[in-house]
Amino acid sequence: MSSSQLRALPLGDSAVTIAFGSERSAALLARIQAAARSLEAARIPYVEDVVPAYLALTVFYDSLHTTYDEIAKTLLDACDRPARGARDTAPPRQHVIPVHYDGMDLDAVAAATGLAVTEVINRHSGRGYTVDLLGFVPGFAYLSELDRSLQLPRRAEPRPRVPAGSVAIAAAQTAVYPLDTPGGWHIIGRTETMLFDPAREPPALLRAGDTVRFERVA
């Protein structure tokens, strides 16, 4: 695909968002992740961070030494060309996360989906998920794809505090909250697994491309 199909927009003074498409798909996500690796390998001057997401990637840059127009043009050109030396993706790892399925929203999810609680648990724990991307807070991984029968919109009112270790679902995804944070997803369980440990190297447990399975424990 040519760069004319990519669109660059400023995100404030120090970032550029490059839109790759308007509909989520596994293929689009893979393309964005490849472009992100390509940009990192290209070592473009003033680029500080590359953040892939579902429809776009965002590049943070040093705006005291370049302008939006200059960096946007450079990035659009670079997104097209697979860079030599782009690191091979690290081999994906498989993780098993033990879960106590006693979350505060478990009954509400059962009621909203019309399923028995045990069926909600079976359908959540019965499949493997892929890590799409990391973001939101340190160590937070967006996992796909949740069983269709469990898919619900986010809560209308986010909670001001969701405890660290909470296992949650919303729309087509599931995730574990690594820290105490506000959150709008439905909490169905908890785990003692540490998704983020600042003393660990690397601190985040999960990486894009890894797979995750949840295992029910008492």
Partner 1 sequence: MDSFTLRAANAVSGNHFDAAGLEWALGGGSIRFEDDAVFSLGGAKAHATLGGKVAAPCTTIYAKAGDELTIEQLTSGRFLYVAIRGGIEVPQALGSKSTYLPGRFGGYQGRTLKKGDSLTVGADPSHLPTDGFHCAAELLPRYEPGIVHITRGTQADLFDESAWRTLTESEYRVSGASDRTGYRLEGPALANPVGTLPSEASCPGSVQIPGDGLPIVLMADAPTIGGYPKIAVVTEADLPIIAQRSPGDSIRFELITIEQSQRALRRRAADLQTISQLALRSSARAS
120, burial (CB in 10 Å: exposed 0-12, middle 13-18, buried 19+) = buried
> Between residues 115 and 179, which has the closer beta carbon with respect to partner 1?
179
94-100 and 211-217 beta bridge pairing: parallel
One residue of 34, 41, 51, 83 binding partner 1 per CB under 8 A: 51
Which residues, other chains included, contact 77 with Cβ-Cβ below 8 Å and sequence gap of 6+? 3
Report how far residue 202's alpha carbon sits from residue 208's, in angstroms, rounded to the nearest whole number.
13
Cis amide linkage into residue 202, ω under 30° from 0: yes
One residue of 85, 91, 114, 198 binding partner 1 per CB under 8 A: 198
> Do the Cβ atoms of 135 and 196 come closer than 8 Å?
no
Give the count of residues interacting with partner 1 (CB under 8 A).
36
State which of positions 99-138 bind partner 1 (CB under 8 A). 133, 135-138
Give least dist CB 147 to partner 1, A. 19
One residue of 27, 64, 87, 94 binding partner 1 per CB under 8 A: 64
Q: Is the dihedral of CA 109, 204, 13, 47 positive or negative?
A: negative
Annotate each residue in 1-30 with x if it binds partner 1 (CB under 8 A) or - if it does not, as one string: --------xxxxxxx-x------x------
One residue of 56, 131, 146, 205 binding partner 1 per CB under 8 A: 56
Q: Which stretch binds partner 1 (CB under 8 A): 37-45, 47-55, 75-83, 119-127?
A: 47-55
Which residues, other chains included, contact 97 with Cβ-Cβ below 8 Å and sequence gap of 6+? 167, 176, 191, 193, 212, 213, 214, 215
68 binds partner 1 (CB under 8 A): yes
Kindly list the residues in this chain that would bind partner 1 in the complex (CB under 8 A): 9-15, 17, 24, 51, 53-58, 60, 63-64, 67-68, 133, 135-138, 142, 154, 156, 179-182, 196, 198, 203
